[in-house]
Amino acid sequence: MPLLEKLLVLAMAAQVLLTLVLLIWMGKERVPRVMRGEIAVADIAVDRTAYPLKARLLSNSFDNQFQLPVLFFVGALLALGSGLVGWATLILAWLFVALRYVHAVIHVTTNRVHRRFAAYVAGLAVLALFWLWLTLRILLAPGI
């Protein structure tokens, strides 16, 4: 596998790592509270309002990793499958992942909505450029 493709796989792995870290952190916030009886299972069966704020923020941030990142993974797999991983694709991919980390950090710490929204919109813009670039590369590539 060429170096640029390996670096794209690493960007994908970095996004997966973010998701797994949020999942584990969320579990550490939620499971002990239920196990100690602080929160009844019936109170969390339908919604998360029984959890303290930190647990809800982690849960929301974890859920958010299955929104825009899904489009990133599809695009990255398409780039890998078509053999069209170039520097522009790679830079956009890593920039998107970096912005997802920024978004998640804001989400689970200060949760300043304006800053979080700015990080989200920046990630969305980068993802749109990623897809635009990938689409043009595929449409203009000979033999694909």
Confirm if 89 and 134 have CB atoms less than 8 A apart: yes
| All structural domains of the chain | 3-140 (1.20.120.550)
The pTM for the full model equals 0.95
How far is residue 140's CA from residue 109's CA, in Å, rounded to a whole number? 44
Find the Cα–Cα–Cα–Cα dihedral 3, 4, 7, 9, rounded to 10°: -100
Instruction: Kindly give the residue spans of alpha helices, DSSP state H, lying in 2-86.
Output: 3-35, 41-44, 53-64, 68-82
Closest to 67 (Cα-Cα) out of 100, 90, 91: 100
pLDDT at 144: 65
pLDDT tens across 9-34, in order?
999 999 999 999 999 999 999 999 99
